[in-house]
Chains A and B, each alone.
Chain A
Amino acid sequence: MTARIVSLLFDGFAYGMLLFVLSVGLSVTLGLMNFVNLAHGSFAMIGGYVTVMLMRSWGVPFFATLPFAFLAAAVAAVILERVLYRRMYRAGELDQALLTIGIVFISVASAAYLFGTTQQPVELPAYLRGRIVFGDFSFGVYRLFLVCAALLIMVIVVLGLDYTRFGAQIRASVDNQRMARGLGINVDRVFSLTFAIGSGLAGLGGAMAIEVVGLDPNFGLKYLVYMLIVVAVGGLASIRGAFVTAAMLGIIDIFSKYFVPEIGAFVLYAVMIGLLVWRPAGLFARR
């Protein structure tokens, strides 16, 4: 039983880490730039399809596809930001939400048209498959990889935001746009780049998610709710909050599916509503 619980805990944590990679970009764009981007999951889906196509058509190794997944999502995000999102920064949440829902609809239909509606499996390299055994406990190698990758990303994002020149520019642009402009920061470029990095991380998450949750045209909608929960409960713009919430969410989800499958996602939604009513700005809100 202990072994069972430990392995469930580990699986939940690894799943949570996947959610973290998927949502950390949303936490940045939504929290720092106040833009309700419901199309975040669609950028993740782009990353997923890039990885699948590269591996299948050109036989590119899994790890080598990850940078392309990141880049493809980032480029798509920059184009969308330039063409559409930029006009909406000052609009209300409702308009932003609807615009991005429209983009989600388009992305779902386009993915179904281009790749069909079936699940897209990937063949992982041998060294990522299998399990590592420690006495009674055994851990999936791929899940260990997820945990390590997520921790690495978390460290990079936190350090990048807090200690680099670009991170300081982001924070300045968000806190006071006019002042930042006055100091010579190219705010538009900062926002574009931030948006690109956030969406690129989603693309990376989408590529890493295929093995765990699969990939089909509805990916962007299906996991959107999870991403939004991570960001909303964790607190906007709080990377640490997103990390803790994602881990909790993954563990709660795996446990409730294992022990009380008949209640399903009910627990999750109830917990989310309760937490949001208790602390509307999220658990780890900065403001």
Chain B
Amino acid sequence: MAQAAVETFDPQAALRAQVRWRLIEIVFWVATLLPFFVADTYLVLASQIAIMALFALSLDLIVGYSGLISLGHAAFYGFGAYTAGLLSKWGWGEPITGLLAAGVASMILGYLTSFIIVRISHFALIMVTLGLGLLLYELANKAHWLTGGDDGLQGMDVWPIFGVFRFDLYGYTAYGYSLAVLFISFLILRRLINSPFGLSLRGLRENPRRMPAIGAPSKHRIQVVYTIAATFAGIAGGLIAQTTSFVALNVLSFQTSADILVMLILGGAGRLYGGIIGVIIFLIARDQLAGMNPQYWYFWLGLLLVLVIVFLPNGILGGLAQLLSRGKKRGAS
């Protein structure tokens, strides 16, 4: 019986099944349009969620799909934010090219640092990613003449998108813009994850020693995925700069790196939607609890993190998937 199952296994069909759009995905993306109609007082928050979701997706490439660790992903996010911010401050406020510039700048930074990343692993990798993040934070902090240091980068002038859609106070344009960028990036990343390249990344995550043995150049792939992740983090950073017309030094801080990692793990790493769900839960909870002392927020966040790591190793989405499959089995038997 088991043998028959093996014989009928068709890898191409299995892969195709992964690529196919499921109904729930389509429902999800249609639902992202809802804030325009039902909750337009929350559009600013929605826009922030869309941006952080893109940031979380980029981290998922590294942490979830390639099995690497990064405690300094904010470096690329912040680098993109400052690139977009400085461009518009210096007189080029066109948003889309500014965003591309942010992506390219972070891509270059990511490519350069990827040479360091592939050389090390485990604890040293934690330390080096942490160190790179702190290094960039210190640089931005000390380069007051360029970045405004602690006070943040002020005086940005972002032009309307396509020369038509002005960034308004309520966040209509901001959310539409962020959502569009998130969706396009999501399509690209989804395609990437389901490509043979994406499959080889998962192979690296599962067994970093065997992949080179079956002919996949692991170092090169890690460099490529790290660069891609940096690019999208930079785009997310560019978005936050353009939609808020401000860059706070905070974008480069360890707190940002830790927050995004927490959101990703909360939702479930290595499953595309995990990061998005984590971001939605994290930011809405923080928004609702904002009236509380921020210190208490960190208490609950810490508790939640501990519980998720101990009881839901694959995050909330992973836990849901487990529940579903258990329910299906019970239904079948």
The 0/1 profile, CB within 8 Å of A marked 1, for residues 105-143 of chain B is 000000000001001111110111011101100110110
Could you say which of B138, B141, B258, B299 contacts A110, with CB atoms under 8 Å apart?
B299
Q: Look across to chain B and name the residue whose beta carbon is closest to the beta carbon of A232.
A: B127
Contact (Cβ within 8 A) B124 A36: no
Q: Is the CB of A272 within 8 A of B131?
A: yes
Write the A170-189 contact mask toward B (1 if CB under 8 angstroms, else 0).
00000000000000000000
Q: In whole Å, how far is A35's beta carbon from the nearest beta carbon of chain B?
A: 10
Q: Is A105 an interface residue (CB 8 A)?
A: yes
Given A95-B313, A263-B142; A232-B123 close (CB under 8 Å):
yes
Query: With an 8 A cutoff between CB atoms, is B17 at the interface?
Result: no
Whether A98 lies near B265 (C-beta < 8 A) is yes
**Chain A, 34-61, CB within 8 A of any chain B CB:** 36
The answer to the question of B301 belonging to the interface, with a C-beta cut-off of 8 Å to chain A, is yes
Interface residues of A in 75-106 (CB under 8 A from B): 84, 87-88, 91, 93-95, 97-99, 101-106
A97 and B295 contacting across the interface, CB-CB below 8 Å: no
A102 and B131: CB pair below 8 A? Answer: no
Select the stretch in B22-30, B227-235, B303-311 that faces chain A. B303-311
Q: How far is A97 from B36 in the complex, measured between Cα atoms in Å?
A: 38
In the bound complex, how far is the Cα of B305 from the Cα of A270, in angstroms?
31
A282 to B138, alpha carbons, bound, how many Å?
A: 24
Give CA–CA (A225, B304) in the complex, Å: 24
CB nearest to B120 among chain A residues? A280
Contact status B122-A95, CB under 8 Å = no
Using A97-B71, A269-B131, A272-B131 as known contacts, say yes or no to A280 and B119 having CB atoms under 8 A apart. Answer: yes
Given contacts A94-B63, A99-B310, A105-B301, contact A269 B138 (CB under 8 A): yes
In Å, the complex CA distance between A181 and B264 comes to 38
Inter-chain contact B142/A264, CB cutoff 8 Å: yes
B299/A95 in contact, CB under 8 A:
no
CB distance from A49 to the nearest CB of B (A): 16
A167 to B302, CA, bound (A): 34
Please tell me which one of the listed residues B126, B135, B296 contacts residue A266 in the complex, with CB atoms under 8 A apart. B135
Contact A272/B127 with A105-B302, A109-B302 known, Cβ cut-off 8 Å:
yes
Residue of B nearest to A111 (CB): B295
Contact A228–B127 (Cβ < 8 Å): yes
Q: Which residues of A contact B165 (CB under 8 A)?
A: none
Contact among B130, B258, B261 with A228 in the assembled complex (CB-CB below 8 Å)? B130
Q: Is B170 an interface residue (CB 8 A)?
A: no
Q: For chain B, give the interface size range.
A: 35 or more
The answer to whether A273 and B295 have CB atoms under 8 Å apart is: no
Query: For residue B69, which residues in chain A have a CB less than 8 angstroms away from its CB?
Result: 93-94, 97
Selected from B122, B124, B296, the residue in CB contact (under 8 A) with A109 is B296
Once A109-B296, A225-B130, A266-B142 are accepted as A-B contacts, the answer to whether A98 and B309 lie under 8 Å apart by CB is: yes
> Which chain A residue has the least Cβ–Cβ distance from B134?
A269
Interface pair A102/B305, CB less than 8 Å apart: yes
Residues 4-27 (chain A) with a chain B CB within 8 angstroms:
none
Q: What is the CA–CA distance of A109 and B301 in the complex, to the nearest angstrom? A: 10
Contacts of A104 in B (CB 8 A): 302
Task: With a 10 A CB-CB cut-off, give which of A93, A98, A217, A281 has the most chain B CB atoms.
Answer: A98
A264 to B149 alpha-carbon distance, docked (Å): 13
| Minimum C-beta distance from B174 to chain A (A) | 30
Would you call B305 and A30 a contact (CB within 8 A)?
no
Contacting residues, chain B, for A269 (C-beta < 8 A): 131-132, 134-135, 138
Minimal beta-carbon separation of B76 from chain A (angstroms): 16
* Per-position 1/0 for B256-286, Cβ under 8 A of A: 0010011001000000000000000000000
When distances are taken between beta carbons in the complex, the residues of chain A under 8 Å from B261 are: 98
Give the residues in chain A near B139, CB-CB below 8 Å: 266
The reply to whether A105 and B135 form a contact with Cβ atoms under 8 Å apart is no
Residues of B with C-beta under 8 A to A95: 309, 313
For residue B142, give the distance in angstroms from its CB to the closest CB of chain A: 6
Kindly state the separation between the CA atoms of A84 and B310 in the bound complex, as whole angstroms. Answer: 8
Does A229 sit within 8 A of B, measured CB to CB? yes
Report the separation of the CA atoms of residues A157 and B305 in the bound assembly, to the nearest whole angstrom.
34
B50-83 interface (Cβ within 8 A of A): 63, 69, 71
Binding site for B on A (CB under 8 A): 30, 36, 84, 87-88, 91, 93-95, 97-99, 101-110, 112-113, 117, 217, 225, 228-229, 232, 236, 262-266, 269-270, 272-273, 276-277, 280-282
13 residue pairs from A and B, CB less than 8 Å apart: A36-B123, A88-B309, A99-B310, A105-B302, A106-B298, A109-B296, A225-B130, A229-B127, A236-B123, A262-B142, A266-B138, A276-B120, A277-B116
Given A105-B298, A266-B139, A270-B135, 18 more A-B residue pairs with CB atoms under 8 Å apart are: A88-B309, A91-B313, A93-B126, A95-B309, A97-B69, A98-B265, A98-B309, A99-B305, A99-B309, A101-B302, A103-B302, A109-B299, A117-B295, A263-B142, A272-B127, A273-B116, A280-B121, A280-B124
- Shortest Cβ-Cβ A-B pairs, 4 listed: A105-B302, A102-B305, A109-B299, A106-B302
